[in-house]
Amino acid sequence: MKIAFQGEAGAYSEQAVFNYFGQVKTLPCESFDAVFDAVNAGKCDAALVPIENSLAGSIHQNYDLLLKNNLHINGEYPLRVRHCLIANPGVKMTEIKKAISHPQALGQCAGYLRSHEIKPEQVYDTAGSVKMLKESGSRDTAAIASRRAAELYGMEILEEGIEDNPENYTRFLAISKEVTTPEGEAKTSIVFTLKNVPGALFKALSVFALRDIDLTKIESRPLQGSPWEYLFYIDFIGATHEAHVQKALDHLDEYAVMLRVLGSYARFKG
């Protein structure tokens, strides 16, 4: 098995790949576009992409890519994000004046950095910041990244779990060309558009509410070329092979201009 992810070796996404798929080969990709392209081109068996973070919100680019590509969601995995303050070997905490990392990681450790008088500086990637730090050999700079990134580059962890809010999870989706049928409790992800008329979204949600189907997420994205009209992405409990779900989707199809099932997959249980 080879699994694609976005980022460099040691990225949080790669950690999520190993946690979810076990000991597989990984294919690091420069961008989310490149991840989807790798799946389409058969360069990997599947990919794992982040879809939302419990603090920062949705990763909208991946919602857009799910729509653009004709792939299927086969699973979900929530990764607990634990940021480490990483330095070159032998460097002491008191020497650190500056921290480099991806803007989102820096933002999630803003309180910690302020209280330790460490100046944040943005770079393109978390694991990449560790690589840069190793290459520079700098003693006044730390990187913020995963434990795995520190180990991979032979660097030292000065402190682990430096994020301001411990409720920091990133939910990943496994995607591939295959349609899978989940066993046990499942989730289904769909995307649809509606006529721009009063009450349209209310009617769309009624198809789930009237059948006691629980929604877990709703996301709206702009409909390209139609300012102030939207695509809706909904996740709900249930799988397309269940009769009540199929009836709800048939019912939604009566109101929807466009409706696509992105996949039914096992709901993650921690």
Pairwise CA distance, residues 263 & 219, whole Å: 16
The residue from 26, 126, 170, 188 that is catalytic is 170
165 exposure class (CB count in 10 Å sphere: 0-12, 13-18, 19+)? exposed
The residue from 5, 32, 172, 208 that is catalytic is 172
202 is a contact residue toward its own copies (CB under 8 A): yes
Which range binds its own copies by CB under 8 A, 138-146, 154-162, 178-186, 221-229? 221-229
Applying CB under 8 A, among 181, 224, 250, 257 the residue interacting with its own copies is 224
Pairwise CA distance, residues 137 & 35, whole Å: 31
Applying CB under 8 A, among 83, 219, 245, 259 the residue interacting with its own copies is 219
- Residue 19's SS3 state is helix
The first and second tokens of residue 247, run together, are 């009836």
Known active-site residue 172: yes
CA angle centred on 257, ends 197 and 196, rounded to 5°: 15
Given the complex with its own copies, which of 89 and 198 has the nearer CB atom?
198
| Size of site (CB under 8 A) for its own copies | 38
Which range binds its own copies by CB under 8 A, 66-74, 153-161, 217-225, 247-255? 217-225
- Residue 164's SS3 state is coil
Which position has the token pair 């330790």? 116
Pairwise CA distance, residues 248 & 256, whole Å: 12
Given the complex with its own copies, which of 18 and 268 has the nearer CB atom?
268
42 is a contact residue toward its own copies (CB under 8 A): no
Applying CB under 8 A, among 218, 253, 257, 258 the residue interacting with its own copies is 218
Applying CB under 8 A, among 18, 43, 54, 139 the residue interacting with its own copies is 54
Name residues contacting its own copies, limited to 82-121 (CB under 8 A). none
Give me the DSSP letters along 245-269. HHHHHHHHHHHEEEEEEEEEEEPP-
226 is a contact residue toward its own copies (CB under 8 A): yes
Pairwise CA distance, residues 240 & 265, whole Å: 10
- Closest distance to its own copies from the beta carbon of 243 (Å): 18
Name residues contacting its own copies, limited to 230-249 (CB under 8 A). 230
The answer to whether 182 touches 265, Cβ cutoff 8 Å, is yes
- The helix/strand count (H/E) of the chain reads as 9, 15
Pairwise CA distance, residues 164 & 82, whole Å: 10
Entry field: residues in the chain: 270
Known active-site residue 141: no
Which range binds its own copies by CB under 8 A, 9-17, 26-34, 97-105, 203-211? 203-211
Given the complex with its own copies, which of 134 and 221 has the nearer CB atom?
221
Q: Which residues bind its own copies (CB under 8 A)?
A: 52-57, 60, 78, 165, 167, 169, 171, 198-199, 201-203, 205-206, 208-209, 212-222, 224-228, 230
Residues marked active site are found at: 170, 172
